[in-house]
Structure 1
Amino acid sequence: MATLEDRPNSALLVIDVQNGVVAGSHRREDVIANIASLVEKARQERVPVVWVQHSSDGLPKGSDAWRIVPELTPRGTEARVEKEYGDSFEDTDLEAVLSNLGVGRLIVVGAQTDACVRSTIHGAFTRGYDTTLVSDAHTTEDQTAWGAPPPEQVIAHTNLYWAYQMAPGRTAGTADTKEVDFGAAS
């Protein structure tokens, strides 16, 4: 159970699935299809979907690169959080949004695995949230030119260590898209 009091609900947190972020990402189409199926499932089950969008010099707010990919369409009633740092909680209203929704458990999808996704799952977990990373619904681009492992290894490593993440009073773990249960903790 999350260490947050009176927060029994789950939410799907969709991180940075923006044109300029996922354009060259590993298995882009498969990952976006998995995210789309989870968004639909969350909506059918009346689970909040929270959309996070990064802005920076390379992703100016309002630009085509900044927009959510055309395969996904946030509803006007769904929360949107704008950020400038890797951790989606840092200097944003994400915590207030989740608190207002009574959310203590996050199901996390998006991009980039080795940056904003990783920062956010750690940020959520240390803030007391039960945090599930959907193992086949996050991606990253190839950063091997700068010394990083290939994208498939980055994704596999993140899934591996998150599956065994532990701390008192909260749960972490991974689940494949088909295994996601918005009502059950990891």
Structure 2
Amino acid sequence: MTTLPDRPNTALLIIDVQNGVVAASTNRDDVIANINTLVARARTAEVPVIWVQHSDDELKKGSESWEYVPELAREDTEPLVHKNYPDSFEDTDLESVLAEHKVGRLIVTGAQTDVCIRSTLHGAIVRGYDATLVADAHTTEDRSQYGAPAPEQVIAHTNLYWRWHEAPGRQGGTVETAEVTF
């Protein structure tokens, strides 16, 4: 239902599942296992798997904390998008990668739920994409010391409000790993 013309394809987007990002995240191992399941299914279906990797002053490019977790293995042919802002589209080549693959629908996974996941979901909808959040394949760490709810509540709330998100000609939505269709 995307508003982007000639974009019939779907891509799996894996956002910031890096050592320093998910080290203290809720349900880390289960989320990574679900992402691995989705990666395998996407590859089998010949659906593009697009990796997004964040860097900033605290997450130095090339450092161990900047590296993707060892449980996830990117293939050399799979695009890697480097970013410096929460929205994976902002000042990156993500849009051109998606255009090259004629993608109009994104299946979104990764971390942190309350920062980069939310920003990218909204960024996708604003740019004309359909964006489905995999409800059990995203995570965040405990930021309650800064006034945020517990991570389980952040994840549940994001799943709740994104389930019904839509805009003219564009659709949000959530789905469990087992229910993802490519």
Instruction: Please give the TM-score of this superposition, normalised by the length of structure 2.
Output: 0.99
Q: State the alpha-carbon separation in 1 of the partners of residues 154 and 70 from structure 2.
A: 26
1:72 aligned residue: 72
2:118 aligned residue: 118
2:129 aligned residue: 129
**Unpaired runs of at least 5, structure 1:** none
1:161 aligned residue: 161
One-letter amino acid matched to 1:96:
S
User: Which string of whole-angstrom CA distances, capped at 9 and with x for unpartnered residues, describes residues 124-175 of structure 1?
Assistant: 0110001100000000000001100000000000000000101111111000
Deviation of 1:179 (Å):
0.3
One-letter amino acid matched to 1:36:
N
One-letter amino acid matched to 1:13:
L
1:108 aligned residue: 108
**Does structure 1 residue 145 correspond to structure 2 residue 136?**
no
User: Which string of whole-angstrom CA distances, capped at 9 and with x for unpartnered residues, describes residues 43-98 of structure 1?
Assistant: 00000000000001111111100000000000000000000000000000000000
Runs (4 or more) in structure 1 with deviation over 6 Å come to none
Alignment size in residue pairs: 182
Q: State the alpha-carbon separation in 1 of the partners of residues 124 and 165 from structure 2.
A: 12
Q: State the alpha-carbon separation in 1 of the partners of residues 166 and 48 from structure 2.
A: 25
**Does structure 1 residue 43 correspond to structure 2 residue 34?**
no
One-letter amino acid matched to 2:137:
A
SS in 2 for 1:104: strand
Q: State the alpha-carbon separation in 1 of the partners of residues 125 and 178 from structure 2.
A: 23
Q: State the alpha-carbon separation in 2 of the partners of residues 170 and 119 from structure 1.
A: 16
SS in 2 for 1:6: coil
SS in 2 for 1:33: helix
> Within 5 Å, which residues of 2 pair with 1:52-67?
52-67=52-67
Deviation of 1:111 (Å):
0.1
Q: State the alpha-carbon separation in 2 of the partners of residues 166 and 98 from structure 1.
A: 20
**Unpaired runs of at least 5, structure 2:** none
Deviation of 1:181 (Å):
0.5
**Does structure 1 residue 172 correspond to structure 2 residue 172?**
yes
One-letter amino acid matched to 2:181:
D
Identity of aligned residues (%): 67
Q: State the alpha-carbon separation in 1 of the partners of residues 101 and 73 from structure 2.
A: 21
CA RMSD of aligned residues (A): 0.4
**Does structure 1 residue 95 correspond to structure 2 residue 87?**
no
Q: State the alpha-carbon separation in 1 of the partners of residues 171 and 54 from structure 2.
A: 27
Instruction: Please give the TM-score of this superposition, normalised by the length of structure 1.
Output: 0.97
Q: State the alpha-carbon separation in 2 of the partners of residues 15 and 159 from structure 1.
A: 16
